[in-house]
Amino acid sequence: MTPLLTIPQRLAALRQAMQQQHVDACLIPSSDPHLSEYLPAHWQARQWLSGFKGSMGTLIVTADQAGLWADSRYWEQAEQELAGSGITLMKIQTAASTQHLDWLAQQLGSSQTLSVDGDVLSLAAAQALQTTLHAKGVQLRTDLDLVGQIWAERPALPHAAIYAHTAPFASTSRADKLQAVRQAMQQAAASHHFISTLDDIAWLFNLRGADVSYNPVFVSHALLSATQATLFVDRSKLDASLQAELAADGVELADYHQAKTALGQLHASDVILIDPRRITLGLRQAMATDSRVITAINPSTLLKSRKTAAEAAQVRATMEQDGAALCEFFAWFEQVVNHEAISELTIDEQITAARARRPGFVSPSFATIAGFNANGALPHYRATEQAHASIAGNGLLLIDSGGQYLGGTTDITRVVAVGTPSPEQKRDFTLVLKGTINLSMAHFPRGTLSPMLDALARAPMWQHDIDFGHGTGHGVGYFLNVHEGPQTISRSLPDPSMAMQEGMITSVEPGIYRPGLWGVRIENLVLNVAAGQNDFGDFLRFETLTLCPIDSRCIEHSLLSRQEVDWLNHYHAEVRRRLLPLVAGAARDWLLQATQAI
């Protein structure tokens, strides 16, 4: 088959395949069989077909229309990348929006057919689709991978080596983690539990890999019973000693593609626990029709979100190393900005190099976002060789970056002055800082649903009739995915699994974005720690983990309260105390200057 070079050619080929299969519409989600956020190249069908490179979005193609549903983080990016493709950007407010379902209900009528590959469609999404389409008499086909039929140069499955995450970084043994999950299975009255989410599997088995860019995970499935644990994986990725270590812990290996077969072989008397948000329709359909199923959140998702005291200690040490790397980077930046030619690409190169010099560093935790002035207004902007800005003159530079270390995952956003920021830029910066401080100072009852905290970060901006379109915070893994559940600080509908518990690590990242002008986002990671008990209950507070100065040159002091000034000065004193022993020379001088009290 000849490779299809242009997006219109690819859409035409898909429509021909649809016609041959008597399909009226085809839905292509941003997904894989593990419902990952970041996809191995083999499953980046939506990106290949549309040209849109954002990490989230839903593409729908009919005989005469094509639309891509994306939230506000990606609107400007999508407008540029979809230009001339024949695909219309359908703007939605949040990633959780179901507007594409409403559109399908309007476009499709009785006896028409929608196709979506069931192997990459979550069970929960499939149920929502079926409910919408049933009311219209539309048929849903989930047995076709139409994009796969026309994708001649489709990349192979990833083949990176798998390795053990060992002590002292992995402080809980594989056997203890398996026992904890089995105990949760027993409490749910389940004899078996099937897991597809890659970070859950990596956490459970104390293994790491490199099948997904920036996330140290590997393509696999797992099936647990009270006495057995089967890991469905390409066993050539594990050396003989690691295979023997797993066998000693009662873990047997099976071929990755045998997961469906194993599900189909469960007995009618078996009771299997699955998470409908974390398993695909294709895997659910592999089970016998009379299988007894319990639906609940994966126990591992809850367990790994609650970092142990030993893990929290490792994360604190990692944050010190990450902060020291950032001191080196910012010292370099201040020396060269407006003196030497640098660009947004230079920022990525230098910040990654600084982290790579630190012990325990493995890789960046996501693609660095470095946006100067107007580019900073794109929340998920990424500079490329073809399109990037030079950094010179006056304005604001937004840098969102992070690292994967053996002892934790970091994610930080700082905005720094280039030349002299304008009064309007300083106002926006200070309002965002107020939001960061307001949420960071929160005390709340244990078990508070995390979305309830979202307004604390937005309130200072709301007072000035300003808001932002993305969530305020996401969970963060322990040398795992930079985005993990179940908690999220956002305007999402609260879910019982989002209850805040001790040990959870979450980002705090409010922002203000002025398209075509500048963007401001200040992000720290925080840890839920005990705040004491009294007659009113058991309370938690946030411990700020991230250690890096906040640029006081961008602050409009008159907008800060005394309490906010005290918080910032206390934070900078802590940053100085913990980072000073780890830096020298220009980095030390920069740190001392950047942490002066205001």
Tens of pLDDT, residues 455-492? 999 999 999 999 998 999 999 999 999 999 999 999 98
* Among candidate residues 185, 190, 205, the one with its CA nearest the CA of residue 249: 205
Specify the pLDDT at position 440: 98
- Banded model confidence at residue 2, pLDDT cuts 50, 70, 90: low
3-state secondary structure of 119: helix
Q: Which domains does the chain have, with CATH numbers?
A: 7-150 (3.40.350.10), 163-304 (3.40.350.10), 306-594 (3.90.230.10)
d(CA 552, CA 567): 13
Strands (DSSP E) found in 257-321: 271-274, 292-295
Does position 94 have pLDDT exceeding 80, yes or no? no
Specify the pLDDT at position 365: 97
Structure tokens at 489: 């600080």
- CA quadruple 17, 22, 27, 32: dihedral, nearest 10: -60
φ, ψ for residue 438 (rounded to 5)?
A: -60, -45
Positive or negative, the CA dihedral 575, 580, 582, 587 is positive
Does position 95 have pLDDT exceeding 70, yes or no? no
* Among candidate residues 399, 389, 472, 465, the one with its CA nearest the CA of residue 427: 465
Our measurement of the distance from residue 52's CA atom to the centroid of its chain's CA atoms, rounded to an integer in Å, reads 18
pLDDT, tens digit (0-9, with 9 covering 90-100), for 433-450: 999 999 999 999 999 999
Does position 384 have pLDDT exceeding 90, yes or no? no
Specify the pLDDT at position 433: 98
Does position 416 have pLDDT exceeding 70, yes or no? yes
User: Average pLDDT in the 297-307 region?
Assistant: 97
Specify the pLDDT at position 117: 97
d(CA 382, CA 378): 9
User: Average pLDDT in the 19-30 region?
Assistant: 96
Strands (DSSP E) found in 271-406: 271-274, 292-295, 361-364, 369-372, 395-401, 403-405
User: Average pLDDT in the 585-593 region?
Assistant: 98
Q: Are the beta carbons of 432 and 520 closer than 8 angstroms? A: yes
Q: How many CB atoms lie within 10 A of CB 165?
A: 18
- For the chain, what is the mean pLDDT? 95
Q: Are the beta carbons of 303 and 181 closer than 8 angstroms? A: yes
φ, ψ for residue 290 (rounded to 5)?
A: -100, 15
Specify the pLDDT at position 492: 86
Specify the pLDDT at position 1: 59
Q: Are the beta carbons of 43 and 120 closer than 8 angstroms? A: yes
Angle (nearest 5°) at CA 97 between 451 and 452: 10
